[in-house]
Amino acid sequence: MTAKRDIHLLDVTLRDGSHSMRHAFTEEQVRAVAKGLDQAGVEYFEVSHGDGLAGSSLQYGLSLVDELKLIEAAKEESKQAKISVLLLPGIGVKEDLQAAMKAGADMVRVATHITEADVAKQHIEFAREQGLKTVGFLMMAHMAPVEKLVEQAKLFESYGAEIVYVTDSAGALLPHEVTERVHALKNSLDCEIGFHGHNNLSLAMANTMAAVDAGATYVDGSLRCLGAGSGNTQTEVMVAVFDRLGIKTGVELYPVMDVANETVAKFMPRPQEITGSSLIMGYSGVYSSFLLFTQEAAKKFNVDERDILVELGRMKAVGGQEDLIFQVASEISKKQNR
């Protein structure tokens, strides 16, 4: 029997968490998390490289285990939950999505920068033709005015997206800014609205609540906040908060707490804290997945990682420009040694 839901909670531990795990999830870990999420009543959870299908590369980080094997493993452990995958046009292609479907994917979230929705047309149309639940994922939503967000969201909807997400990739948005954006989409689109937050300014839960109050019906979370930067809205906390508010997620609190604390906590490489670097990411509006690359560059060039992030924010760097991190670190080092 399907649980009644007022909102749909999508867990991204096995995708966004891949950034924090340096894309080194094992099949055993994926099976354990998938089984726990399924038993807790989570409706959707995402399994991909952190940068989406075909993201395993020298630029983004090589996966320890082929993502298709991980999708297959997750599917085998799921009796009711559905598997989502992320696809970034230019990284993943049609054949990658077809392979993911064969492995068990039920949903695809096609992600673009906030101003580049037009590059996703063929991907969204193809996904709808294949019968996948199809989502448009507008990343770095803080980097464009609300009018541009609405314009781009309308493109996603016109291509066939059933849900359009406001994606706070840098954890830079404040609650009133989330409210403004979600409310604008709610008033301008016929499809459903989603929200994906990061916790770099310690606002992920507050922003998620603001999104739901403004009309979002899909919200993302990760167990123990495992995700890029300071992580995402914490899934088990979200379940508890929405239960207190009388908002149904269909997820049982104790079982989702158990998979967070007895499974995920044991393999996390570090607690998802708001460090100086991740705080600067939210403050400067820098892509959350840049964190580990920035720490490596800072160590290599013996510079302050905060200086790198502030400069990347000034340059308005976006996902796909990871090579800039080392260039910026090198330039800072040269200036310091003159």
Last-in-domain residue among 267, 287, 303:
267
Is 183 one of the annotated binding-site residues? no
- Closest residue by Cα to residue 313 from 292, 296, 294: 294
Last-in-domain residue among 214, 237, 267:
267
Same domain for 152 and 297: no
Provide the domain limits for residue 294: 276-336
Residue 109 inside a domain? The answer is yes
Q: What is the CATH number of the domain that holds 299?
A: 1.10.8.60
Q: Is residue 292 over pLDDT 90?
A: no
Residue 282 inside a domain? The answer is yes
Mean pLDDT confidence for 70-77: 98
Mean pLDDT confidence for 165-191: 98
Q: What is the CATH number of the domain that holds 186?
A: 3.20.20.70
Q: What HEC string does the chain produce? A: CCCCCCCEEEECCCCCHHHHCCCCCCHHHHHHHHHHHHHHCCCEEECCCCCCCCCCECCCECCCCCHHHHHHHHHHCCCCCEEEEEECECCECHHHHHHHHHHCCCEEEEEEECCCHHHHHHHHHHHHHCCCEEEEEEECHHHCCHHHHHHHHHHHHHHCCCEEEEECCCCCCCHHHHHHHHHHHHHHCCCEEEEECECCCCCHHHHHHHHHHHCCCEEEEEHHHCCCCCCECEHHHHHHHHHHCCCCCCCCHHHHHHHHHHHHHHHCCCCCCCCHHHHHHHHHCCCHHHHHHHHHHHHHHCCCHHHHHHHHHHCCCCCCCCHHHHHHHHHHHHHHCC
- At residue 318 the predicted structure's pLDDT band, cuts being 50, 70 and 90, is confident
Same domain for 138 and 35: yes
Residue keyed to tokens 């909670």 = 9
State yes or no: is 49 an active-site residue: no
Same domain for 66 and 99: yes
Is 198 one of the annotated binding-site residues? yes
CA atoms within 13 A on the CB side of 114: 22
Q: Is residue 46 over pLDDT 60?
A: yes
* Number of separate domains in the chain: 2
Residue 293 inside a domain? The answer is yes
Mean pLDDT confidence for 266-275: 93
CA dihedral 70, 38, 271, 26 (to 10 degrees): -20
Residue 2 inside a domain? The answer is no
Cα–Cα–Cα angle for 289, 170, 197, nearest 5°? 100
Tell me the average pLDDT of the chain: 95
Residue 1 inside a domain? The answer is no
Give the Cα separation of 174 and 133 in Å (integer).
29
Same domain for 214 and 154: yes
Same domain for 294 and 174: no
* Structure-block tokens of residue 198: 């990061």
pLDDT attached to residue 160: 98
Give the Cα separation of 24 and 114 in Å (integer).
29
Last-in-domain residue among 236, 267, 298:
267
Mean pLDDT confidence for 128-137: 98
- At residue 289 the predicted structure's pLDDT band, cuts being 50, 70 and 90, is confident
pLDDT attached to residue 61: 86
Is 287 one of the annotated binding-site residues? yes
Residue 215 inside a domain? The answer is yes
Same domain for 226 and 144: yes
Mean pLDDT confidence for 131-150: 97
Residue with more model confidence, 29 or 278: 29
Is 196 one of the annotated binding-site residues? yes
Same domain for 299 and 258: no
- At residue 336 the predicted structure's pLDDT band, cuts being 50, 70 and 90, is confident
Is 270 one of the annotated binding-site residues? no
Q: Which of 19, 23, 49, 183 is catalytic?
A: 19
- At residue 2 the predicted structure's pLDDT band, cuts being 50, 70 and 90, is low
Q: Is residue 1 over pLDDT 50?
A: no
Residue 3 inside a domain? The answer is no
Phi, psi (5° rounding) for residue 204?
-60, -45
- At residue 52 the predicted structure's pLDDT band, cuts being 50, 70 and 90, is very high
pLDDT attached to residue 338: 72
Same domain for 175 and 149: yes
Same domain for 304 and 175: no
Is 16 one of the annotated binding-site residues? yes
Same domain for 175 and 58: yes
Same domain for 304 and 204: no
Residue with more model confidence, 291 or 146: 146
Looking at the chain, the whole-number percentage of residues with pLDDT higher than 90 is 86
Which helix (H) or strand (E) is 301 found in, with range? helix 291-301
Note the pLDDT tens digit of each residue in 76-125.
Answer: 999 999 999 999 999 999 999 999 999 999 999 999 999 999 999 999 99
Q: Where are the beta strands (DSSP E) in 132-190?
A: 133-139, 163-167
Same domain for 216 and 111: yes
Note the pLDDT tens digit of each residue in 189-244.
Answer: 999 999 999 999 999 999 999 999 999 999 999 999 999 999 999 999 999 999 99
Q: Is residue 276 over pLDDT 90?
A: no
